[in-house]
Amino acid sequence: MVRLRVTEILEERGKTEDWLFRQTGMTDYRSFRKLIHNESSRIRFEAIAKICAALDVPAGELFMSADDSEAE
């Protein structure tokens, strides 16, 4: 299973979910929260691109294997 590391990256950088939501220009806050908290069953490439741009990270840094998170 693959999951997003958005909340971890935000915490590392001292940024909030609200900050990221504003930076991405997304309009549906509920869907945004589901996405970054790994409660969504699908992700649009456009959303990933916006999050990557706002956080200034390559897409590969947003994702991790659930097996990796269990090892931490």
Q: Where are the domains of the chain?
A: 2-71
pLDDT tier for residue 70 given thresholds of 50, 70 and 90: low
Give how far the C-alpha of residue 57 lies from the chain's centroid of Cα atoms, to the nearest Å: 11
User: What pTM, to 2 d.p., does this model score?
Assistant: 0.84
Over residues 22-61, the pLDDT tens digits come to: 999 999 999 999 999 999 989 999 999 999 999 999 999 9
**Residue 32 CB neighbour total at 10 angstroms:** 21
Give domain 2-71's CATH number out of 3.40.50.720, 3.50.50.60, 2.40.50.1070, 1.10.260.40.
1.10.260.40
Give the 3-state DSSP-derived string for 10-68, with helices as H, strands as E and coil as C. Answer: HHHHCCCHHHHHHHHCCCCHHHHHHHHCCCCCCCCHHHHHHHHHHHCCCHHHHEEEHHH
